[in-house]
Amino acid sequence: MGSMDACNNSLSRASYESQDQSATNCGPLIWRRMSVGVRIQDAMPENFDDVVDLILNFYVPHNPLYKSSKILEDAESLATFKEMLYSYLKQGHSLVAVDECTDRIVGALVLSLVKKSTFGLEFDRLEIGRGKALRTITSFVNDASRMVDIFERFQCDVYMRYMFTCVHGDYRTNGIGQNMLSASIDVAHYLDVPVIMGIADQPLLQKVYLDLGMTIQYSSKVIELENDVDDLGSRENYYQCLVMGCLVLPPSNPEPKSNSADLNPAGKNKSKISRIKSKSKKDL
């Protein structure tokens, strides 16, 4: 019991300024257990390869901007993209969805803490990334991000950004995406991060963000993509992203965290988005 208390105490003191990731030494926190037999937990180093594979197989081929850029055919861009994913994962804040019967990673929410003190340097690093396809992607997304000063808008020095939300194709329509996003609010509370931000580039994701309480801060112009689609009127040929964000208010009386139990028991200190039912909407 003493070691568990020590683990929880170290986690409760963790903040975005901590660089040693000592919290991960205690094992993953389980943020949700779903009725469909899936748990939402911290992404651990041993999960990173599976998360990268999941995103390459179920996010990149279906996202309009990534698909149009043909990043999977650009070896240099693909290598740089993988490096970026591992860099985000190593921050230690991302979440995974795990099938409890097989321990298979079936979903991932890649999170990044963006600090005001290093914001410009991070943009510069992304924009000089190797590979034409990836530069095209990051240039468009970063241009949209720059249109809103999240730090000024929400009067904060750090915010949590949704980088990638991905669910395995065989596990969609089960509410896994919504549950990962819901759990991320608890992660933000836990780290004392006051704001969340995400760039929603597909209608379903935009709707989910709105349902979570996020508001539109900026809408990019609609661009026509170069896709191998015969029907020029297809929605796959057009792309628009919304920069969205909201202030995250901590629960008034947060419950102690545990490594072995659902951290949001029914009826206790649920935030707005944690009330989402696991099958209430089509998943991401």
| pLDDT of residue 1 exceeding 60 | no
**Weakest-pLDDT range from 28-42, 80-94, 146-160, 265-279:** 265-279
Residue 266, in any domain of the structure: yes
Residue 282, in any domain of the structure: no
pLDDT, one tens digit per residue, over 24-42 is: 455 679 999 999 999 999 9
Whether 126 contacts 73, CB under 8 Å: no
| pLDDT of residue 192 exceeding 70 | yes
Residue 9, in any domain of the structure: no
Q: What is the mean pLDDT of residues 137-143?
A: 86
Residue 110, in any domain of the structure: yes
Q: Indicate the pairing of strand 95-99 with strand 215-219.
A: unpaired
H or E segment and range at residue 157: none
The helix/strand/coil state of 113 is strand
H or E segment and range at residue 22: none
Residue 153, in any domain of the structure: yes
Question: Integer distance in angstroms from the first to the last C-alpha of the chain?
Answer: 39
Q: Is 169 exposed, middle or buried (0-12, 13-18, 19+ CB in 10 A)?
A: exposed
Residues contacting 76, CB < 8 A, separation 6+? 130, 131, 132
pLDDT greater at residue 204 or residue 270? 204
Range of the domain at 198: 26-255+262-275
Highest average pLDDT, of 110-114, 256-260, 278-282, comes from 110-114
How far apart CA 192 and CA 246 sit, in angstroms, is 14
How far apart CA 249 and CA 105 sit, in angstroms, is 30
Residue 10, in any domain of the structure: no
Beta strands in the chain (DSSP E): 30-33, 38-42, 95-99, 104-115, 158-167, 195-200, 215-219, 223-224, 238-239, 242-247
| pLDDT of residue 219 exceeding 50 | yes
Entry pTM: 0.76
Residue 1, in any domain of the structure: no
Q: How confident is the model at residue 256 (pLDDT cuts 50, 70, 90)?
A: very low
Mean pLDDT across the chain: 78
pLDDT at 170: 96
Residues contacting 80, CB < 8 A, separation 6+? 129, 130, 131, 134
H or E segment and range at residue 193: none
Tally of domains within the chain: 1
DSSP string, 37-59: SEEEEEPPGGGHHHHHHHHHHHT
pLDDT at 98: 98
- Region of 197 (left: φ > 0; alpha: ψ -120 to 50; beta: rest) is beta
Looking at residue 158, the DSSP 8-state letter turns out to be E
Q: Is 278 exposed, middle or buried (0-12, 13-18, 19+ CB in 10 A)?
A: middle
Q: What is the CATH number of the domain that holds 33?
A: 3.40.630.30
Residue 42, in any domain of the structure: yes
Tally of residues, the chain: 284
Q: What angle do CA 221, 225, 227 make, to 5 degrees?
A: 160
